[in-house]
């Protein structure tokens, strides 16, 4: 028989933080996955669709329809996703029944990071040995040019996800420097495969925007439209071909609408850059903002409209000249305890 020993409430309270983040057992995760698949089929039946071909997008649409939520934060709304996306991946227990750890670097604390550095450095040494062999046999070293522009290194967060371990900034930088050193040596094919594990493709060009084809109006003249914004000013511009270079804003000629030379210079900037100053007619409408903001908005709108008239290379040149980017600078808000956005109140010693 057991006897109740007197305990205080303080001792009985569990120390929640000591055990670390909640660990999910494998059985638990498997059960979650089964429940998710069953739930998916139920949902498909409810929506009247085929349970076999019910994709994740369909699930999202169904949940948004059945549980409408007005919350701003998308992560706070009801969601139904595969458990591998919801529960973070965790390390399984790293030591056996006798308490002895499996990995030889367990006691460093960051075992996967150090083992990765170890592997990379071994590869570096092997490449150097290979190079020395080649120079000993008097063969020329292989020189291959790798395309630097299309790839980028893993970010720190991606590396952390790969290793399932927290890294510090210095650790991450050391690893990247080691990879760069490995890459600069004339390496063979084996190293390329290893390095590719740590690179990601960057979309080849930032011309992800689709350029619209030219439209033709009743007289047979080609035209195209563009929209631009700058700091609260919104503008739409239609650029016509076979023109004399006149620009009309809200029905008024630019000489009367923009009395300042700087604004007119900005309006003509895209045309002057492409060398088509007297060839196009422009009709714009603009609202909101101030004098300079409206000029900037019309500049962006006419640059976007001109893309349809011009070759792809020239579009890329316009982008590199900064004509096609929306200027994100807006007025900074005033903070409490300060007089303006940056200006503080006069400092009084007493």
Partner 1 sequence: MAAPSAAGLRWRLRAWVPRLTQVRWSRYNPSFIEPEVNKELYQKPLEELTEEEKEKLELKAVQPIKAAPPTVSSSVFSDPMISKFTNMMMKDGNKVLARSLMAQTLEAIKRKQLEKYHKAPEDEKEAIECNPYVIFHQALKNCQPIIGLSSITRGGKTYQVPVPLKDNRKRFLAMKWLITECRENKNRRTLMPEKLSQELLQAFNNEGPIIKKKHVLHKMAEANRAYAHFRWW
Strand segments (E) across 57-98: none
In the complex, the smallest distance separating the C-beta of residue 322 from partner 1, rounded to whole angstroms, is 3
Binding pattern to partner 1, positions 253-292, x when CB under 8 A?
-------xxx--xx-xx--xx------------------x
User: Given the rule CB under 8 A, which of 92-100, 126-134, 142-150, 214-222 is the region that contacts partner 1?
Assistant: 142-150
Contact 267, 299 (CB under 8 A): yes
Contact 267, 258 (CB under 8 A): yes
Site for partner 1 in 66-105 (CB under 8 A): 75, 80, 86-88
In the complex, the smallest distance separating the C-beta of residue 105 from partner 1, rounded to whole angstroms, is 24
Q: Is 252 in the site for partner 1 (CB under 8 A)?
A: no
The smaller minimum CB distance to partner 1, of residues 204 and 221, is found at: 204
Q: Is 62 in the site for partner 1 (CB under 8 A)?
A: no
Q: Is 326 in the site for partner 1 (CB under 8 A)?
A: yes
CA 300-303-304 angle, 5° bins: 85
Select the residue interacting with partner 1 from 56, 135, 242, 325 (CB under 8 A).
Answer: 325
d(CA 334, CA 55): 47
- The CA distances from residue 223 to 244, 247, 282, 319, in Å, are 14, 14, 9, 21
d(CA 25, CA 37): 19
**Sheet containing 247-249: order of strands:** 215-216, 222-230, 233-240, 281-287, 247-249, 252-253
Positions that interact with partner 1 (CB under 8 A): 21-22, 24, 32, 35-36, 39, 75, 80, 86-88, 147-150, 157, 202-206, 260-262, 265-266, 268-269, 272-273, 292, 295-296, 300, 316-317, 319-323, 325-330
């Amino acid at each position: 028989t057991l006897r109740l020993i007197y305990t205080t409430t303080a001792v009985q309270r569990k120390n929640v933080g000591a055990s670390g983040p909640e660990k999910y057992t494998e059985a638990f995760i498997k059960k979650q996955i089964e429940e998710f698949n069953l739930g998916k089929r139920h949902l498909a039946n409810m929506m009247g669709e085929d349970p076999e071909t019910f994709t994740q997008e369909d699930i999202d649409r169904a949940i948004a329809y059945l549980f409408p939520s007005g919350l701003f934060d998308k992560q706070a709304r009801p969601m139904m996703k595969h458990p591998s996306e919801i529960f973070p991946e965790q390390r399984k227990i790293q030591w056996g029944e006798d308490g002895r750890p499996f990995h030889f670097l367990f006691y460093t604390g960051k075992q996967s990071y150090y083992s990765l550095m170890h592997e990379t450095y071994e590869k570096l040494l092997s490449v150097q040995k290979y190079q020395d062999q080649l120079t000993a046999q008097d063969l020329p070293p292989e020189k291959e040019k790798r395309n630097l522009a299309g790839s980028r290194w893993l970010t720190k967060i991606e590396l952390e996800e790969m290793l399932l371990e927290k890294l510090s900034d210095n650790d991450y930088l050391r690893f990247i420097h080691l990879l760069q050193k490995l890459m600069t040596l004339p390496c063979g094919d084996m190293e390329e495969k290893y390095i590719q594990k740590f690179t990601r493709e960057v979309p080849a060009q930032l011309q992800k925007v689709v350029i619209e084809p030219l439209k033709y109006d009743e007289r047979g003249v080609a035209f195209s439209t563009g929209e631009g914004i700058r700091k609260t000013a919104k503008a739409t511009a239609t650029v016509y071909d076979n023109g004399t270079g006149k620009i009309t804003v809200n029905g008024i000629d630019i000489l009367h609408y923009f009395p300042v030379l700087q604004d007119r210079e900005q309006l003509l900037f895209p045309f002057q850059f492409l060398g088509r100053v007297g060839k196009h007619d422009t009709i714009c409408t603009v609202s909101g903002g101030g004098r300079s903001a409206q000029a900037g908005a019309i500049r962006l709108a006419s640059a976007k409209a001109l893309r349809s008239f011009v070759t792809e290379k020239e579009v890329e040149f316009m982008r590199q000249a900064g004509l096609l980017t929306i200027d994100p600078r807006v007025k900074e808000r005033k903070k409490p305890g300060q007089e303006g956005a940056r200006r503080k109140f006069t400092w009084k010693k007493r």
